[in-house]
Amino acid sequence: MRLGVMGDFITITPPNPRGSIMQWFVVHTKPRQEQRALENLQRQGFAAWLPMLSVEKFRRGRLEKVVEPMFSRYLFIQLDKVTSNWSPIRSTMGVSKLVTFGNLPAAVPPEIVDALRNAPTPDVPRFFFQWRRRALCGWALAWSGRLVPGARRRSPRHDFHQPAEPPPGGQR
């Protein structure tokens, strides 16, 4: 740091502001508000990045492709330790806090962020094929005892809660 005196004012200039290095840090978001935090941070002029991943999920009886954050409740933000103003980050909607180790913010090596950004998007493997999904759905519904259109009724002999053969004496 350099001190300079101009009249009655003392000016403090940070060392070499042009030589400052931008680093990646991790932001912890509020539950399911990663996208909201990303948009608000970018709106404030921060360079933020949320890695997304395409996965298959079984929802409402159907298999759907869903795009969701790769790291749930976390996103990356690029800041300069010297010249960046960090105070608006804490009050940004969707942000819970900046990840720290003690009092120091957790810096992520740029190689890791570059590797994540440049990684090829993999083809989503199909975990359930049509016949497996129907078999799984039918088995789950039969186990729970619910009947849906197209599901087969189970006979009492196949009920797991009752014995397969009548008890001695011929009565149930």
Total-model pTM: 0.62
Q: Is 144 exposed, middle or buried (0-12, 13-18, 19+ CB in 10 A)?
A: exposed
Quick: pLDDT tens for 117-140. Answer: 998 877 666 655 554 444 555 545
DSSP string, 123-136: PPP-SS-HHHHHHH
Q: How confident is the model at residue 112 (pLDDT cuts 50, 70, 90)?
A: very high
3-state DSSP assignment of residue 44 = coil
pLDDT, position 16: 47
pLDDT, position 169: 66
Query: Which has the higher per-residue pLDDT, 83 or 141?
Result: 83
Give the number of other CB atoms < 10 A from CB of residue 168: 6
Segment 61-86 mean pLDDT = 90
Closest of 131, 133, 128, 158 to residue 143, by C-alpha: 158
Q: Which of 15-29, 75-89, 143-157 has the lowest mean pLDDT?
A: 143-157
Segment 12-20 mean pLDDT = 52
Domains of the chain by range and CATH?
Answer: 20-127 (3.30.70.940), 128-166 (no CATH)
- % of the chain residues with pLDDT over 90: 42
Please report how many Cα atoms fall inside a 13 Å half-sphere around the Cα of residue 73, on the Cβ side: 7
Query: Which has the higher per-residue pLDDT, 69 or 167?
Result: 69
pLDDT, position 108: 95
Query: What is the rounded average pLDDT for all residues in the chain?
Result: 76
Quick: pLDDT tens for 30-73. Answer: 999 999 999 999 999 999 999 998 888 888 888 888 999 999 99
pLDDT, position 64: 87
pLDDT, position 62: 86
pLDDT, position 17: 52
pLDDT, position 153: 52
